[in-house]
Amino acid sequence: MLKATVLVILALFAATFAQRGHLPPDPGAAGKRTVLGIDSDGDGVRDDIQIEVTRLIPNDPYARAGAMFWFAIEQRIFTAYEENPNESFEFFYPYFLASSASARYAIITGAGNFISIDKRTMMLLNTRERFLVNNELDSIAHGRALRSHTFYPELREQLDREFQIFYEREKERQR
């Protein structure tokens, strides 16, 4: 019995260690110095978020991909705002559509079963500066109507392809 228990613990440790090996290093305080944070592997997701999502969803690559995709789209909006802070609603409209679509992916994949919307929001807006940028983006979108991304077949196909890339990456990391 003891031998079996030790083997199970070793197997879990090995799986966790192997998965951790595919993650970027924890950025620590440096990751909070700018609105965009640190994305050392260039996958579109801040390193601190990638690490936390993997910790919260260690064994479900589909749900993990849904969460990562949502964060990547939100990061894209933040990047667009940082580069174009004075742009209009019309400029940000495609980003807002993608954000709405990414939330749908998070629901469909079951990511919300692991990470509530409140937790995702706290992870995304973990500094005052990020909160303020999000507030500015909310002001730009305030009172405006968005159609579903499903009304835009090219956008839907593009987002489906992008999500598939996230899913393939998470399946690979799971191995």
For residue 140, the enclosing domain spans: 2-174
| CB-CB neighbours of 169 under 10 Å | 17
pLDDT at 174: 87
Q: Record the tokens describing residue 134, joined without a space.
A: 């999000």
Quick one: how far is CA 101 from the chain centroid?
13
Q: For the chain, list residues with pLDDT below 70.
A: 1-21
Total domains in the chain come to 1
Query: What is the three-state SS of 90-115?
Result: HHHHHHHHHHHHHHHHHHHCCHHHHC
| CB-CB neighbours of 82 under 10 Å | 12
pLDDT at 16: 40
pLDDT at 145: 86
pLDDT at 11: 39
pLDDT at 138: 95
Amino acid at 10: L
pLDDT at 7: 36
Q: Taking the model in full, what pTM does it have?
A: 0.85
Compute the residue count for the chain. 175
C-alpha closest to that of 44 among 75, 82, 20: 75
pLDDT at 20: 44
